[in-house]
Protein backbone atom coordinates (compact mmCIF):
# COMPACT_ATOMS: atom_id res chain seq x y z
CA UNK A 1 0.00 0.00 0.00
CA UNK A 2 1.17 3.53 -0.77
CA UNK A 3 2.04 5.98 1.96
CA UNK A 4 -0.86 7.72 3.72
CA UNK A 5 -1.05 11.11 5.42
CA UNK A 6 -3.20 11.87 8.45
CA UNK A 7 -3.90 15.39 9.67
CA UNK A 8 -6.19 16.81 12.30
CA UNK A 9 -6.67 19.99 14.30
CA UNK A 10 -5.75 22.36 11.48
CA UNK A 11 -8.40 24.78 12.84
CA UNK A 12 -8.54 26.95 9.73
CA UNK A 13 -4.84 27.84 9.90
CA UNK A 14 -3.94 28.71 6.31
CA UNK A 15 -0.22 28.21 6.96
CA UNK A 16 -0.88 24.65 8.14
CA UNK A 17 -3.07 23.98 5.12
CA UNK A 18 -0.39 25.34 2.79
CA UNK A 19 2.20 23.05 4.38
CA UNK A 20 -0.16 20.14 3.82
CA UNK A 21 -0.74 21.06 0.17
CA UNK A 22 3.01 21.51 -0.38
CA UNK A 23 3.68 18.08 1.15
CA UNK A 24 1.04 16.46 -1.05
CA UNK A 25 2.52 18.13 -4.16
CA UNK A 26 6.08 17.06 -3.35
CA UNK A 27 5.24 13.52 -2.18
CA UNK A 28 1.72 12.54 -3.21
CA UNK A 29 0.37 9.97 -0.75
CA UNK A 30 -1.98 7.18 -1.74
CA UNK A 31 -4.53 8.57 0.73
CA UNK A 32 -5.03 11.57 2.96
CA UNK A 33 -7.14 11.38 6.11
CA UNK A 34 -8.45 14.65 7.54
CA UNK A 35 -9.61 13.76 11.03
CA UNK A 36 -11.62 16.79 11.98
CA UNK A 37 -11.24 20.20 13.58
CA UNK A 38 -10.84 21.66 10.11
CA UNK A 39 -12.35 25.07 10.77
CA UNK A 40 -11.27 27.94 13.03
CA UNK A 41 -12.23 27.79 16.71
CA UNK A 42 -15.60 29.04 17.83
CA UNK A 43 -19.23 28.23 17.30
CA UNK A 44 -20.05 29.15 13.72
CA UNK A 45 -16.47 30.16 12.82
CA UNK A 46 -16.31 29.18 9.17
CA UNK A 47 -14.14 31.97 7.79
CA UNK A 48 -10.55 33.00 8.31
CA UNK A 49 -9.55 36.64 8.90
CA UNK A 50 -6.96 36.47 6.10
CA UNK A 51 -9.58 35.40 3.55
CA UNK A 52 -11.91 37.46 1.46
CA UNK A 53 -15.03 37.94 3.58
CA UNK A 54 -17.12 35.89 1.15
CA UNK A 55 -14.77 32.90 1.25
CA UNK A 56 -15.24 30.06 3.71
CA UNK A 57 -12.49 27.74 4.84
CA UNK A 58 -14.29 24.86 3.13
CA UNK A 59 -14.55 26.94 -0.06
CA UNK A 60 -10.81 27.54 0.20
CA UNK A 61 -10.21 23.81 0.69
CA UNK A 62 -12.39 22.91 -2.29
CA UNK A 63 -10.49 25.35 -4.49
CA UNK A 64 -7.06 24.15 -3.30
CA UNK A 65 -7.94 20.45 -3.55
CA UNK A 66 -9.28 21.15 -7.04
CA UNK A 67 -5.93 22.75 -7.92
CA UNK A 68 -4.10 19.72 -6.50
CA UNK A 69 -6.30 17.32 -8.45
CA UNK A 70 -5.56 19.17 -11.71
CA UNK A 71 -1.81 19.32 -10.98
CA UNK A 72 -1.44 15.72 -9.81
CA UNK A 73 -3.91 14.12 -12.22
CA UNK A 74 -3.79 10.34 -11.68
CA UNK A 75 -1.46 10.80 -8.67
CA UNK A 76 -4.16 12.72 -6.77
CA UNK A 77 -4.72 10.89 -3.47
CA UNK A 78 -7.99 9.62 -2.12
CA UNK A 79 -9.00 12.14 0.50
CA UNK A 80 -11.15 11.04 3.44
CA UNK A 81 -12.68 13.78 5.58
CA UNK A 82 -14.80 13.95 8.72
CA UNK A 83 -15.73 16.94 10.86
CA UNK A 84 -14.40 17.24 14.39
CA UNK A 85 -16.00 18.48 17.57
CA UNK A 86 -14.91 22.08 16.79
CA UNK A 87 -16.48 22.03 13.32
CA UNK A 88 -20.06 23.32 13.24
CA UNK A 89 -22.51 20.90 11.66
CA UNK A 90 -23.89 23.73 9.55
CA UNK A 91 -20.84 23.14 7.30
CA UNK A 92 -21.75 19.50 6.69
CA UNK A 93 -23.58 20.43 3.48
CA UNK A 94 -20.39 22.06 2.14
CA UNK A 95 -18.38 18.94 3.04
CA UNK A 96 -20.91 16.82 1.18
CA UNK A 97 -20.74 19.19 -1.82
CA UNK A 98 -16.95 18.74 -1.97
CA UNK A 99 -17.52 14.99 -1.95
CA UNK A 100 -20.01 15.27 -4.82
CA UNK A 101 -17.34 17.14 -6.80
CA UNK A 102 -14.96 14.23 -6.19
CA UNK A 103 -12.51 16.34 -4.18
CA UNK A 104 -12.77 14.15 -1.09
CA UNK A 105 -14.89 11.41 0.41
CA UNK A 106 -17.10 12.49 3.29
CA UNK A 107 -16.95 9.45 5.55
CA UNK A 108 -18.81 10.51 8.70
CA UNK A 109 -21.07 7.67 9.83
CA UNK A 110 -20.06 5.48 6.92
CA UNK A 111 -17.64 2.82 5.73
CA UNK A 112 -15.62 2.53 2.56
CA UNK A 113 -12.69 0.45 1.35
CA UNK A 114 -9.09 1.45 0.76
CA UNK A 115 -7.50 -1.54 -0.88
CA UNK A 116 -7.85 -4.44 1.54
CA UNK A 117 -8.63 -2.10 4.45
CA UNK A 118 -11.96 -0.79 5.65
CA UNK A 119 -12.20 2.91 6.49
CA UNK A 120 -14.83 4.00 8.99
CA UNK A 121 -15.70 7.61 9.77
CA UNK A 122 -17.27 8.65 13.05
CA UNK A 123 -17.25 12.27 14.13
CA UNK A 124 -19.02 11.95 17.46
CA UNK A 125 -17.25 12.35 20.79
CA UNK A 126 -18.50 11.94 24.37
CA UNK A 127 -19.38 15.09 26.38
CA UNK A 128 -16.52 17.59 26.49
CA UNK A 129 -15.85 20.92 28.24
CA UNK A 130 -16.51 22.78 24.97
CA UNK A 131 -19.83 24.48 24.21
CA UNK A 132 -20.36 23.40 20.58
CA UNK A 133 -22.29 20.13 20.84
CA UNK A 134 -22.99 19.27 17.18
CA UNK A 135 -20.76 16.19 17.30
CA UNK A 136 -21.30 15.08 20.89
CA UNK A 137 -23.22 12.01 21.97
CA UNK A 138 -23.36 10.02 25.15
CA UNK A 139 -21.26 6.94 24.73
CA UNK A 140 -22.03 4.12 27.15
CA UNK A 141 -23.97 6.09 29.75
CA UNK A 142 -25.23 9.59 30.40
CA UNK A 143 -22.30 10.26 32.73
CA UNK A 144 -20.62 13.62 32.18
CA UNK A 145 -17.05 13.92 33.47
CA UNK A 146 -16.34 16.75 35.93
CA UNK A 147 -15.60 19.96 34.05
CA UNK A 148 -17.51 18.85 30.97
CA UNK A 149 -20.76 20.30 29.65
CA UNK A 150 -23.63 17.94 28.85
CA UNK A 151 -24.79 17.89 25.24
CA UNK A 152 -28.15 19.32 26.33
CA UNK A 153 -26.52 22.40 27.87
CA UNK A 154 -24.29 23.46 24.99
CA UNK A 155 -24.97 25.04 21.60
CA UNK A 156 -25.81 23.50 18.24
CA UNK A 157 -25.26 25.16 14.88
CA UNK A 158 -28.19 23.27 13.37
CA UNK A 159 -31.50 22.80 15.16
CA UNK A 160 -33.34 19.54 15.58
CA UNK A 161 -30.44 17.08 15.78
CA UNK A 162 -31.56 14.51 18.34
CA UNK A 163 -29.32 13.14 21.06
CA UNK A 164 -28.90 9.42 21.35
CA UNK A 165 -27.10 6.87 23.46
CA UNK A 166 -26.52 4.94 20.27
CA UNK A 167 -23.28 5.39 18.39
CA UNK A 168 -25.26 5.16 15.16
CA UNK A 169 -27.04 8.46 15.72
CA UNK A 170 -26.61 11.04 13.04
Q: Which residues of 25-64 are buried (b: 16+ CB within 10 A; e: fewer)?
A: eeebbebbbbbbbbbbeebebbbbeeeeeeebbbbbbbeb
Q: How many helices (H) and strands (E) does the chain have?
A: 3, 6
166 vs 105, which has greater pLDDT? Answer: 105
Handedness of CA 11, 100, 65, 78 (dihedral sign): positive
For 51-66, the pLDDT digits (tens) are 444 457 788 899 999 9
In this prediction the pTM is 0.86
34-52 pLDDT, tens digit each: 999 998 865 445 555 554 4
Cα three-residue angle 103-113-65, rounded to 5 degrees: 15
Encode pLDDT of 136-158 as tens digits. Answer: 999 889 999 999 999 999 989 88
Domains of the chain as residue ranges with CATH:
4-121 (3.60.21.10)
Amino acid sequence: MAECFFVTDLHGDLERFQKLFDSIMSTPPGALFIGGDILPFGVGATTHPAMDHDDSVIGYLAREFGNLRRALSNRYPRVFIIPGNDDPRLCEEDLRAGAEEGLWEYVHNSRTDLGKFSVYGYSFIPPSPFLLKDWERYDVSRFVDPGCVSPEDGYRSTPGVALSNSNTAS
